């Protein structure tokens, strides 16, 4: 084991040095560390345990504190996720914490201006308006829009207050625009969220397929694990599906670059080949799956030639990829935004699940699926009820689940809205636009920059009749529109837990005090509940905890017996050592590395989180339909036909634009843009075209495009660099909303500019 201070080196050498290893071996430890200039290890006062908050990998690290300030970080050698390694954003992103423009006092709007005030005044304004609206209209007037970056305790408390206390159905996270597809796809195939994979599958896999997942930039430490396998004996072969020539593509045995929006056609062709060549585990299917006949019928027309025309991928490449998938002994698949933020997102991601079910490759070392998350705590948004799903993967359309939740919360089941699917973000914005949501509380996210149709979203958020509460660490673009701004503490300044995509739960401890009067998000929610005087049915306070550990204990009880079972965890077991994978119970105190072993799914009609939806219309299945389809709780092979995108290139709008994330930045750059080391790398903005794309006549080899989305109302807008969306004009690209709008929409070439890099 070696400890390396990479400082500047790692900006230009982001994946660090190789530590090769072979199939089935343990990934060697390599501890990465960065301390501020002039600080020596011996001068550090204390190291405080946490995990990464600037991407979804869940790298465990310790914060170095000197004189009550954060002065650096070091990877945790003993952690199962990163074995000591850190990514670029881990190494430097914390610099933003001490930014001079952090919010440090509450703000309220007075005569159109935001002015500083005290907490009492700010909170009374929020509580006063909440009570007025409850009297006038009821809970349907209240909406909560949160993030993928708070802690489990905070989401659970917010969900309890909103669903159980106030009784509104309008709770969602920005995870809706990010990796909601991951959850949706898992629900379709397995009846429940929860990853059927583990990072250790990389140690065993002989084929790794990355679907729309530029892992090298989005989860750089996981990519280091793959690079180390590639550098070792008997390396795995990679399949890369991505229209762009990415770092992943460079290492792939086969690189399929489909035309944007055609993933379902490509996946159907891969499945077609597996079935035609009978690379199908018939015993597994007979014992553990339903729907094979329909799947085989559906993919029957999708010959490689048929898909080649649709996807603009040579048929022989499709065959080659299918040969690899079909010959794999231990197949690991990962999926991310190239599928999630593209046309027919869920349908495409579901077909990746189908490959594994058809091949019987689940629940064994090296055989897993990682429907990746984009944000560090997105998994908790989903588990704890922060995105509208009921806590503990409870099924909103199963009355017994709602009653069980009401028992945990000690309230009447009718108090918990379950008349329809939870309201998703865009629907909440629509309700705010119509004037029926009149108080919107935004925590830890920046919809004024990240949602699609920004002109419209900004005008919605600016409405006089909408009372906008923004809880954030900076005066974001959204906060500038708010009626009340609540200054929050962030990572390193508060305690809580969060969970990554392979179900590893980490404890994140408070290292330093937040600036000024800023408070932990949990404290703010608890204060709101206290001031509203929310009660359970016995007249006791609805929220029964006053700190993070108490909230965690509450969440543990809520999760008991559900798939994401935390009941065997505690702050003590999470302190020191490695993060632990749920389900973690008294019977499995070390956690569970692999779920769905021997086809034991969570899809029983009485237990499952979801009955699924129609993959084209989105209509939820009725309980009776699901029971008829899957009475014994097997995996569901859901077939989907390819449908052309809603908007395809035309003469006026000849190009597809798709987007991706860069190594150095995250989301709207609220944090990484303020971390000097992350902002220093040379700009890499610009466009990269797949090799076969004909370039517009007269354009230089590398071009930067001013873009205007072909959305309603934008048609006549003159695009110029100044009016180009943030993702195009800045170095950062975001994986959230606005990009989604842009990513699905072909755009018009405004004018070619000199290359930016």
Query: Which residues make up the interface to other proteins (CB under 8 A)?
Result: 137-138, 140-141, 169, 419-421, 423, 426-427, 430-431, 433-436, 456, 614, 616-620, 643, 646, 712-713
Cα–Cα distance for residue pair 239/404, rounded to 1 Å: 44
Residues paired with 335 in a beta bridge:
211, 371
Indicate the residue among 441 and 491 with the shorter CB distance to other proteins: 441
Inter-residue contact 367 to 355 (CB < 8 Å): no
Strands lying side by side in the sheet with 496-499: 496-499, 504-508, 580-581
Indicate the residue among 279 and 427 with the shorter CB distance to other proteins: 427
* Least CB distance to other proteins at residue 434 (A): 5
Indicate the residue among 372 and 457 with the shorter CB distance to other proteins: 457
Indicate the residue among 618 and 696 with the shorter CB distance to other proteins: 618
* Least CB distance to other proteins at residue 294 (A): 11
Indicate the residue among 140 and 337 with the shorter CB distance to other proteins: 140
Q: List Cβ<8 Å contacts ≥24 apart for 582-590.
A: 582/499, 582/503, 582/505, 583/503, 584/505
Indicate the residue among 287 and 420 with the shorter CB distance to other proteins: 420
* Least CB distance to other proteins at residue 437 (A): 8
Indicate the residue among 164 and 514 with the shorter CB distance to other proteins: 164
- The values of phi and psi at residue 308, to 5°, are -60, -40
* Least CB distance to other proteins at residue 350 (A): 17
Nearest CA to 211 among 361, 50, 351? 351
Indicate the residue among 435 and 577 with the shorter CB distance to other proteins: 435
> Regarding beta strands 635-636 and 289-290, do their DSSP bridges make them parallel or antiparallel, or are they unpaired?
parallel
Residues paired with 108 in a beta bridge:
115, 484
Indicate the residue among 286 and 616 with the shorter CB distance to other proteins: 616
Cα–Cα distance for residue pair 416/402, rounded to 1 Å: 7
Which residues, in sequence order, are CB contacts of 591 under 8 Å at separation 6+? 503, 504, 505, 568, 580, 581, 582, 583, 584
* Least CB distance to other proteins at residue 419 (A): 6
Cα–Cα distance for residue pair 19/241, rounded to 1 Å: 26
Indicate the residue among 156 and 340 with the shorter CB distance to other proteins: 340
* Least CB distance to other proteins at residue 576 (A): 47
> Regarding beta strands 107-110 and 484-487, do their DSSP bridges make them parallel or antiparallel, or are they unpaired?
antiparallel
* Least CB distance to other proteins at residue 304 (A): 26
Inter-residue contact 555 to 566 (CB < 8 Å): yes
* Least CB distance to other proteins at residue 620 (A): 6
Cis peptide before 583 (omega within 30 of 0): yes
Cα–Cα distance for residue pair 568/560, rounded to 1 Å: 9
Question: How is residue 522 written in tokens?
Answer: 């949990």
* Least CB distance to other proteins at residue 444 (A): 25
* Least CB distance to other proteins at residue 390 (A): 16
Inter-residue contact 707 to 752 (CB < 8 Å): no
Cα-based angle 502, 506, 512 (whole degrees, multiple of 5): 145
HSE toward the beta carbon, residue 121, CA cutoff 13 A: 13
Which residues, in sequence order, are CB contacts of 373 under 8 Å at separation 6+? 56, 148, 175, 178, 179, 182, 379, 500, 501
User: How big is the chain by its Cα radius of gyration, in Å?
Assistant: 25
Indicate the residue among 460 and 678 with the shorter CB distance to other proteins: 460
Nearest CA to 56 among 183, 168, 195, 149? 149
* Least CB distance to other proteins at residue 222 (A): 33
């Amino acid at each position: 084991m070696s400890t390396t201070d990479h400082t500047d080196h790692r900006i230009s050498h982001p994946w660090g040095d190789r530590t090769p290893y072979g199939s089935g071996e343990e990934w060697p430890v390599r501890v990465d560390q960065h301390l501020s200039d002039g600080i020596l290890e011996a001068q550090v006062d204390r190291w405080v345990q946490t995990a990464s908050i600037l991407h979804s990998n869940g790298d465990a690290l310790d914060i170095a504190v000197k004189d009550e300030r954060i002065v650096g970080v070091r990877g945790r050698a003993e952690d199962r996720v990163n074995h000591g390694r850190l990514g670029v954003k881990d190494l430097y992103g914390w610099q933003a914490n001490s930014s001079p423009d952090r919010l440090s006092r509450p703000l309220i709007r007075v005569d159109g201006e935001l002015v500083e005030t005290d907490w009492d005044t700010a909170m009374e304004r929020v509580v006063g308006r909440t009570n007025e609206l409850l009297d006038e209209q009821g809970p349907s007037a209240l909406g909560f829009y949160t993030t993928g970056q708070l802690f489990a305790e905070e989401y659970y408390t917010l969900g309890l207050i909103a669903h159980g206390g106030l009784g509104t159905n309008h709770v969602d996270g920005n995870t809706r625009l990010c990796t909601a597809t991951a959850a949706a796809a898992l629900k379709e195939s397995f009846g429940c969220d929860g990853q059927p994979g583990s990072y250790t599958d990389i140690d065993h896999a002989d084929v790794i397929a990355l679907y729309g997942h530029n892992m090298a930039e989005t989860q750089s430490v996981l990519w280091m694990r793959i690079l180390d396998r590639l550098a070792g004996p008997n390396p795995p072969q990679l399949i890369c599906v991505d229209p762009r020539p990415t770092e992943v593509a460079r290492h792939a045995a086969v690189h399929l670059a489909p035309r944007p929006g055609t993933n379902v056609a490509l996946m159907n062709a891969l499945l077609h080949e597996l079935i035609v060549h009978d690379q199908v585990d018939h015993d597994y299917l007979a014992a553990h799956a339903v729907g094979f006949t329909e799947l085989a019928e559906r993919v029957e027309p999708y010959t490689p030639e048929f898909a080649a025309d649709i996807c603009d991928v040579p048929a022989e490449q499709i065959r080659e990829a299918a040969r690899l998938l079909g010959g794999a002994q231990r197949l690991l698949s990962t999926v991310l935004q190239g599928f999630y933020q593209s046309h027919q997102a869920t349908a495409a991601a579901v077909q990746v699940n189908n490959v594994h079910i058809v091949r019987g490759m689940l629940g064994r070392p090296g055989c897993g699926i990682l429907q990746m998350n984009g944000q560090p705590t997105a998994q908790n948004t989903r588990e704890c009820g922060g995105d509208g799903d009921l806590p503990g993967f409870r099924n909103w359309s199963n009355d017994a689940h709602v009653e069980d939740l009401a028992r945990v919360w000690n309230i009447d089941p009718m108090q918990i809205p379950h008349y329809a699917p939870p309201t998703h973000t865009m629907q909440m914005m629509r309700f705010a636009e119509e004037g029926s949501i009149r108080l919107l509380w935004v925590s830890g996210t920046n919809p004024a920059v990240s949602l699609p149709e920004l002109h419209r979203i900004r005008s919605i958020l600016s409405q006089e009749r909408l009372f906008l509460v923004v809880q954030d660490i900076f005066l974001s673009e959204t906060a500038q529109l708010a009626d009340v701004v609540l200054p929050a503490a962030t990572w390193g300044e508060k305690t809580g837990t969060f969970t990554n995509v392979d179900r590893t739960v980490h404890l994140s401890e408070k290292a330093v005090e937040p600036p000024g009067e800023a408070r932990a998000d949990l404290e703010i929610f608890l204060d709101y509940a206290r001031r509203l005087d929310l009660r359970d049915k016995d007249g006791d306070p609805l929220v029964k905890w006053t700190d993070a550990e108490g909230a965690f204990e509450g969440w543990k009880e809520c999760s008991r017996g559900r798939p994401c079972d935390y009941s065997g965890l505690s702050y003590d077991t999470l302190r020191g050592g490695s993060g632990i994978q749920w389900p973690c119970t008294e019977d499995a105190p070390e956690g569970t590395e692999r779920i769905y072993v021997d086809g034991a799914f969570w899809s029983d009609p009485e237990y499952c989180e979801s009955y699924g939806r129609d993959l084209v219309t989105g209509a939820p299945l009725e309980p009776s339909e699901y029971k008829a389809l899957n009475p014994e709780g097997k995996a569901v092979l859901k077939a989907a036909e390819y449908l052309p995108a809603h908007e395809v290139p035309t003469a006026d709008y000849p190009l597809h634009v798709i987007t991706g994330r860069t190594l150095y930045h995250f989301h709207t750059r609220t944090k990484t843009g303020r971390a000097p080391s992350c902002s220093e790398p040379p700009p890499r903005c610009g466009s990269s075209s797949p090799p076969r794309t004909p370039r517009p006549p007269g354009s230089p080899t590398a071009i930067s495009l001013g873009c205007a989305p072909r959305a309603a109302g934008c048609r006549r807008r003159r695009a110029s660099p100044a009016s180009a969306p943030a993702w195009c004009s800045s170095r950062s690209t975001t994986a959230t909303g606005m990009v989604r709008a842009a990513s699905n929409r072909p755009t018009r070439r405004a004018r070619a500019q000199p290359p930016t890099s």
